[in-house]
Every structure is written in structure tokens, then in C-alpha cells.
Amino acid sequence: MAQIVVQDLRKAFKVAKREAGLWNAFRGLVKREYTHVQALDGVSFEIEEGELVGYLGPNGAGKSTTIKILSGILLPDEGICQVMGRIPWQERIDHVREIGVVFGQRSQLWWDLPVIDSFELLRDIYRLSSADYRKTLEKVVDTLELTDLLEVPVRQLSLGQRMRCELAASLLHNPKLLFLDEPTIGLDAVSKLVVRDFVKTLNEEQGTTVILTTHDMDDIEALCSRVMIIGRGKILARGKLKDITREVARERRLVVELDGDYSKEYIRSQVPGAELVKLEGKQAHFDFDPARISPPELIANISARFQVRDLLIENQPIDEVISRLYGELHI
Amino acid sequence: MRDGIRLYLRYVSMSLRSQLQYPASFLMLVVGNLAITGIEFLTIWALFSRFGSLGEWSLPEVALFYGMVHMAFAISEAAARGFDILHRQVRSGDFDRILLRPRSTALQVMGLEFQLLRVGRFAQGLVVLRWGLTSLKMSITFAELLLIVAAIIGGGLLFSGLFVLQATLSFWSVDSLEVVNLTTYGGVETAQAPISIYRGYFRSFFTWVIPLATINYFPLMAILDHADPLGIPHWLSWLSPLAGLVFFVLCLQVWNFGVRHYHSTGS
Amino acid sequence: MNRRAYQAIMRLRFMLLMQYRIAALAGITTQFMFGFVKIMVLEAFYLSTTQPQPLTFQQAVGYVWLGQAMLRLLPWDGDGEIQALVRSGNVAYELCRPLDLYSHWYARAIALRVAPTLLRAVPVFLVTLFVLPPKYALSIPTAGGWAAWILSTLGAIALGCAITNLINISMFWTISGEGISRLIPAVVIILSGMGVPLPLFPDWSQRLLELLPFAGLVDTPARFFTGQLSPTMIWVFLARQLVWTAILIIWGRRLLARGLRRVVVQGG
């Protein structure tokens, strides 16, 4: 059986309506109205041990509700959920002993105290033996380069340093399953790379299953073998990122540096089969579908009609593709 | 159990070290706490200086009631602080972190903070209690002293139970928490005078529903050898510290119910 | 500051309070509970003596209820946002705005105190005037008493806001500011009459209590309302409130100027 099995998970929340305006505020004193929000509307998936899966979707799509159910914090209204053979919320204590969770926007470290103190507290919380604790600590300190940070009070750490420590804190008990909720949010480029590298190594060398939710498409591209996209409480697409985006991102982009000034209308009239999306000075951006017009043919067309200084074919930026995908999926 | 105590002590030691990071401002907090709680006794003193006595009670006698309830409340304010601030954790989502740890939720919430500045209230309560005992020139047996200490600890547990109830309430609504102040801060205000001076339902409520009377009133009836107008025999006074313990345990059951509710609603 | 902006501040405060409807209800209940405890204790004290007191029991009951009704008017703390602004040094940016900082803060203080008081005082008045049995009720004053009470309450607001501003300004001197914030509630409660009606303090302390500014916050309006002071005395007491207000405003303005110089010199 797969490590995580989820079948037809459903969850609704009751939310109090709050309307703007003084009069409505008064009215709210007497009577409050509620709306039901269907956060999960029949979600099913399986994840095998050792996978590194990206979980995508716009805010409010049901990502964190799913994660909360998987980690045993929240009960679903309906559906089946088994993680490592357990029903998370029924055997919470045994379950959480084997999972790690990192929230990018929240800290689990004691703000005013040196990092090592928080680690030692976690040792006691998870009842780790001294030998195990020391072994794991040594390893994470080594790979995350924390040696110089352990004695520093958390409040003095930079965001990137702190995130490395958060990761370490979530791994001290050697979890088999790791949930990462926006682990790179707000980090500088270098820290992002360190975090990404670490997650990749952890997954490859220890076989830790990782579920990653993020809005950073570079994270997903760099790490995830497989992604699931959720919207309005349903899984709308799943598979390799490339396969999912191929449909919406069939098109490539051709950037041409022209020698001379032309109007948009003129260029459009001269280049059928490709769409001019942008003209910046002498730089023209075309989107085209390689299935309909092959790149050499398009380039030949253009160079026959214009003086061309330079040209470049690229994939569309991944963020644009995803937002287009969301649009196509109506989420 | 022993493991749990060790973990709790680690929490406490971390919390204390965090609070002592800025000694100057910490000292100020303690002095402020001492002053704001100490003025309560000033008001009682002022009333005694005008009226002479409170019914059949003298100022040193009332000082005993006052000292005991303040010390008990200070203990719970310090130790159960985590429950007092739990609504913030729930609102911010940080309570989830507690559910993600393989330990008792109540223990972890207790571990959120041990608020040392409450030592101010504790100290003024102790001073007033001492002053009452010396002014009364009574000889206190060791057993009686033990009863006082046990009653204060029992009172600490009782008030802690109320903070646990308050925290549980925050799983449903954070708006209504001030209601609990009726029984915590209101309870202290009430119990710093002998409960027999109050009337009817009010007195019954704080004797039987929330047994504030067990913190100081019943024990002191035995120690002052005072016939109880409420008709409680002295031997029962010796058992009264247990009431706080029982109350606390009951509140923990309610807490567990609340945690299950949180599980199913996500708050 | 213009009226529009001032009205906007008031409106916002109200909206904020309205959101927490149960909290308001709980707050009112708490005030009743504390009021009753105080009254029951006072009753036990009054029963212990046969000597006439400077305040009759009936007046003491009224005094306690007025204190509970006006609880939120007391300057126990500063304006949280302003204090944060000062503490962080960002107050320097406020200097760029085309308004007098002291008056702006003063207007905010009025909103801070008056909005929650209106919300909470109305139910306390309704219940204590019309619902409670006469023994524990607030007695309706004479027309003169009403007038004197209204005037002295306005005086109390003016005075309380001057004190609020001082608390705000004390944050320029971080450590002592924190200390003042911690100690001011104790001072205000005991010296305003919120803890025990001031006339019940020992006779030797009466002159001192009357001379201090804090009596103007709770004691003065309460004594006019309960008829312990004759309405003809209002001018003396109002003058006392206003003189203190003026002194504290002048002092506050001086301190503010000095504090701002500090911030500007240190570069925030």
C-alpha cells in the first residue's frame, strides 16, 4: 500500500459574514449570518514512500486543509485518509512522532534563546535518546552549516539562517514524512538554493517523503518529480509538471532583435503563424505553437522580411504558465 | 509522569531565561505587579481605618484571607499563563504546532510561558499574610502551617482550572473570554474578604460551583477556630485543599473535550 | 485638527468595538460583578458601625456604580499605536505631517476613552437607575446635580486625556516610560476613587487627595451625582480640574518637544 492514501476527502467550514459599514456592524450585534465554505470537495490521491510531491493551488484552494488532515490536526467530514497505515487524527500521538512539519511563516524556535536550547527542548519532547539525538544533530548541523549559529539567539538570525534552523528542528526526530509549507517564502536567492539543495539531498539520500506547498515555481521545477494542483477543493490536475503545463504552454517564445523600427501593425501583417505579444523598441516577442509552425520555418519567414540582428527561443516563464493554467482550470 | 515533569521543568527554565534577558525591564514589571496588586490591600486598610471592623472580622484576620487568595492566584497566573494566552495561539494558528507534537497538549500549553513577574503579587500576599499572623499573636502548629500551604497550592490549582476553562472557550469564540474574568479576577476580589459577608446566590456560587471558599475561608475557620456561620464542620476544613485539585482535574477533562472539538472544526 | 478627521477616528473606534459584541456584553457583566462585590463589602462595613460617615451608604452605592460606568474613561494606559510609534523612533515621520502632534494625539485620546465608555456606560446607567432594588440602585440626582455631573464629567475627560498624552510621551524615555506605564494604573485606581470612594479615606488624607489631579477623574463627578457635593460647588471643582488639565497639557507639550528633539538628534 502507498504511504499516503487519500480517498474522497471532504471538509466544510462555517464562516461568519462580516460586512462593511457602521450600520452592518450594529446589525451584527443582533444577528450574525454564516456561510459554508467547502474547503475540500472530494480529494483523492496516493503518494508512495520516497516521493517528492509538489502541492499547488492559489490561496484558499484547500492546500492547508489537506495538509492539516494529513498531519492529524484536523478531522475531515467524510472520506478516507491513511498515512503509514494509520488514520492520523485517531492515533495523533503515534502519527506525529513520525512526521515533520515546517511552516515558512511561523517559527517553532524560542525567540530570545540560542538555537541549541530549542533543539534540546525538542529532544525532550520527542523523548530522543542522547545517542540518537547527537547523531542526527551532527548530521543536520553539518549539511545545513549551522555550526556557528547554534549559540546565537534566534532573534539575531537572518531569515535565511532561521529557516535553516527551522528545517533542522523539524528533522531532529528523523521523520519519515516531511511537510514543507512555503519553506522559501521571503528568502534571498542564496538561502533559497541552500534550502532546495538540502531538501533534495534529504529526499534522495534518506528516502524521506516530502510534500511541498509553495507559490515559488522555481522550487517546484527544481525539486518535484510530481505535482498536484488543487482548486476550489478539487484536484484538477496531477502528474509531471511538464506534462501538465504542456497543454497550456504548448507555445514557445521567440525574441527577435530587429535592425530598424517597425510598427506593431506592420510586423503583424508580415508574420503570420506567430503572435506578437510585445514590442520593446527593436525587440519583438512572438508566441508560437511549434506543432503548427516549426521554429526553422518561422525564423526563415522573419529573416526573409526583416533585417535581424539576433534571436532567441525560450520556454514561457513558468509563473505565467501556471497562472494561465489556473485560468484554464477556472480557479 | 517523571518524564513529563522533566519536560515541564525544561520549559520553565527556558521561559525564565527568556524573561531575564532584559533584567532592568523585568525588574520594572515585578515592581509594577507588586504595586498594582498591593493597592488592593491599601483599599482594605483604608476601609478598616474608617469603620473599625468588617462585621465580626478584624483587619489582621482579613489579612489572612487576603494573603492566601493572592498567593494562590499569583501561582496560577504564573504557571497557567499559557492557558491565559491560548486564544492568541489559536487565532494565529500556532496552536497547530502543539498538536503536531507527540505530547500532552495541556503540558505543552503550560510550557508556553511561566510568567515570573507574578512574583510581585505573590510577595505582597506573603507579606500581608505574615503581618496578619504576627499581629494576631497566635501560635500556629506545624499541621496548621501545612494546611495553609496546601490550601494556597489548592487555590493555585483552582484558579488554574479557571484559566483552563477560559482557554477551552477560545476554541469556540475569542469574544467571550472576558466572562471568565468574572471568576478569576472577580474571584480574587471576592475572596479577599471572608465569604460569609456576601449574600444568597452569590455566596453559594463561590462556595459550591466555583469553590473559592476552599482556598481560604474553610481552612481559616479551622485555624482561627471560628464557628462557621455557614455550618461547615472543622474536620471538613482540613480536606478543603483537595477541592482545588479535583476542580483542576475536571477542568482538564473539559479541555480535552475542547481539543477534540478543535480537531473537528479547525476552529 | 479638522472635524472630519476627528469624526473618522471616532467612527473607526466604534466599528472596532462593535465587532466584538460578546466581548462588550462580557465586559458589562464584569463591571456589574465588580460593582456588586464592592457594594456588598461596603455594606458589611457600614453595618459594623453606627457612627455617621462622610458618605451615606446610599451615596457610596451610587459612587461605586458611577465608577463602574466610567471605568473606561480612566487613563490607565497610553494609546498603543502611538506608544509603538514612539518606541520604534518612527515618530520622527509624524513631524512631516501638517498638524500639531500634541493636539492630534489629544484628539485620539478622546476617541480612545469616550467610544468604549459610551458603549459600556449606557447599560450600566439603565440597569442601576431603573432595574435594581432601591437599596442597591443609583439614585436620580436633582437637576442641579445632573448639570454639575455633566460639567465635571467633561472636566474629567479633559483631564484624563491630558494624562493619557503624558503616558504616551513618557515612551520617549524608554525605560522610565515602561516603568510609568506599569505604575500608573495603581496610582490612578487608588487616587481617583476607583478603588475606595475617596471620602472614606482617613480624614487626615482628605486635603492631599483633593489637591492631587486624580480626584478629578472619578471622585468629583461621582460626588456631584450622588449629591454628596452641592451643585453650587461645581465652579470650584471644575476650576480645579481645568487648572490641572492646563498644567498637564503645558508639561506634556514641553516634554513632547524635548522628546522629539531627542529623536531627531539621535536620528531615530
What is the secondary structure of A56-90 as a DSSP string?
A: E--TTSSHHHHHHHHTTSS--SEEEEEETTB-TTT
Reported as half-sphere exposure (CB side, CA atoms, 13 A), residue B27 has a value of 5
A152-185 burial: b if 16+ Cβ within 10 Å, else e: bbbeebeebbbbbbbbbbbbbbbbbbbbbbbbbb
* Cell of residue A237, nine digits: 490536475
* Antiparallel, parallel or unpaired: β A52-56 and A226-231: parallel
Predicted local distance difference test score (pLDDT) of residue A259: 85
Span B75-131, pLDDT tens digits: 999 999 999 999 999 988 899 999 999 999 999 999 999 999 999 999 999 999 999
Q: For cell 478603588, what's the residue?
A: C195
Check CB contact under 8 Å for A22 and C21. no
Is the Cα torsion angle A77, A78, A83, A85 positive or negative in sign? Answer: positive
- In this complex, the residue of B7, B10, B99 whose CB is nearest that of residue A73 is B99
Contacting subunits of A (3+ beta carbon pairs below 8 A): B, C
The residue of A19, A22, A24 whose CB has the most chain C CBs within 10 angstroms, and thus the best one to mutate to test that interface, is A22
- Strands ordered across the beta sheet of A34-47: A34-47, A4-16, A78-83
CB atoms within 10 A of CB A150: 15
Q: Which of A7, A9, A16 is nearest to A77 (CA)?
A: A9
- Strands ordered across the beta sheet of A234-239: A99-103, A177-181, A209-213, A52-56, A226-231, A234-239
Q: Which of B187, B189, B182, B155 is nearest to B166 (CA)?
A: B182
Check CB contact under 8 Å for B24 and C175. yes
Nearest-CA distance A130 → chain B (Å): 14
Check CB contact under 8 Å for C48 and B50. no
Average pLDDT taken over every residue of chain A: 88
Nearest-CA distance A28 → chain C (Å): 8
Reported as half-sphere exposure (CB side, CA atoms, 13 A), residue B126 has a value of 10
Distance CA B113, CA B85 (A): 9
Check CB contact under 8 Å for B38 and C45. no
Distance CA A108, CA B25 (A): 25
Predicted local distance difference test score (pLDDT) of residue A324: 77
Chain B residues touching residue C44 (CB < 8 angstroms): 54-55, 193, 197
Nearest-CA distance C11 → chain A (Å): 8
Nearest-CA distance A109 → chain C (Å): 24
Residue C17 is part of which domain span?
3-266
Predicted local distance difference test score (pLDDT) of residue C268: 42
Span B225-259, pLDDT tens digits: 887 777 778 888 899 999 999 999 999 999 999 99
Give the count of domains, chain C. 1
Span B40-75, pLDDT tens digits: 999 999 999 999 999 889 999 999 999 999 999 999
**A111 has pLDDT over 70:** yes
How many residues appear in chain A? 331
Q: Which of B178, B162, B201 is nearest to C31 (CA)?
A: B178
| Residue C6 one-letter amino acid | Y
C19: nearest CA in chain A? A25
Nearby residues of A237 by Cβ (< 8 Å), 6 or more positions away: A227, A228, A229, A244, A325, A329
C12: nearest CA in chain A? A22
Residue predicted with more confidence, B147 or A246: B147
CB atoms within 10 A of CB B1: 5
Q: C18 CB near a chain A CB, below 8 Å?
A: yes
CB atoms within 10 A of CB C189: 22
Q: B229 CB near a chain C CB, below 8 Å?
A: no
- In this complex, the residue of B40, B43, B50 whose CB is nearest that of residue C202 is B50
Q: For chain C, which ranges sit under pLDDT 70?
A: 1-3, 5-6, 9-10, 13-22, 265-268
Check CB contact under 8 Å for B47 and C183. no
Is the Cα torsion angle A301, A307, A312, A315 positive or negative in sign? Answer: negative
Residue predicted with more confidence, B28 or A86: A86
Check CB contact under 8 Å for B39 and C190. yes
Predicted local distance difference test score (pLDDT) of residue C192: 95
Chain B residues touching residue C53 (CB < 8 angstroms): 50-51
Nearest-CA distance B102 → chain C (Å): 34
Residue predicted with more confidence, B126 or A189: B126
Predicted local distance difference test score (pLDDT) of residue C206: 94
Chain A residues touching residue C15 (CB < 8 angstroms): 22, 25
Span A272-321, pLDDT tens digits: 888 888 888 888 888 888 888 888 888 888 888 888 888 888 776 667 77
Chain B residues touching residue C46 (CB < 8 angstroms): 51
C19: nearest CA in chain B? B175
A101: nearest CA in chain B? B100
C135: Cα separation from own chain's centroid: 27
Using a CB–CB cut-off of 8 Å, the residues of C that contact B are 20-23, 26-27, 29-30, 33-34, 36-38, 40-42, 44-49, 53, 175, 178-179, 181-183, 185-186, 189-190, 195-196, 200-202
Burial (0-12, 13-18, 19+ Cβ within 10 Å), A300: exposed
Contacting subunits of B (3+ beta carbon pairs below 8 A): A, C
Burial (0-12, 13-18, 19+ Cβ within 10 Å), C186: buried
Chain C residues touching residue B50 (CB < 8 angstroms): 45, 53, 200-202
Judged by average pLDDT, the poorest of A24-28, A137-141, A247-251 is A24-28
Check CB contact under 8 Å for A25 and C18. yes
A29: nearest CA in chain C? C21
Q: Which of B266, B50, B29 is nearest to C57 (CA)?
A: B50
Mean pLDDT of B151-170: 96
Using a CB–CB cut-off of 8 Å, the residues of A that contact B are 11, 13-14, 65, 68, 71-75, 89, 92-94, 96-97, 99, 101, 103, 106, 108, 110-113, 117, 120-121, 124-127
Q: Which of A145, A222, A153 is nearest to A189 (CA)?
A: A222
Q: Which of C158, C152, C209, C214 is nearest to C189 (CA)?
A: C214
Span B175-228, pLDDT tens digits: 677 788 889 999 999 999 999 999 888 999 999 899 999 999 999 999 998 877
* Cell of residue B141, nine digits: 502548629
Query: 3-state secondary structure string, A137-170?
Result: HHHHHHHHCCCCCCCCEHHHCCHHHHHHHHHHHH
Contact criterion met (CB below 8 Å) for B118 and B33: yes
Task: Map out the domains of chain A with their CATH numbers.
Answer: 4-246 (3.40.50.300), 250-315 (3.30.70)
Distance CA C114, CA B61 (A): 41
| ipTM, two decimals | 0.90
Helix axes C21-47, C101-126, angle to 10 degrees: 70
Q: For cell 490536526, what's the residue?
A: A73
Nearby residues of A73 by Cβ (< 8 Å), 6 or more positions away: A89, B96, B99, B100, B263, B266
**A283 beta partners:** A257, A280
Q: C22 CB near a chain A CB, below 8 Å?
A: no
* Cell of residue C140, nine digits: 436620580
Using a CB–CB cut-off of 8 Å, the residues of A that contact C are 18, 22, 25-26, 28-29
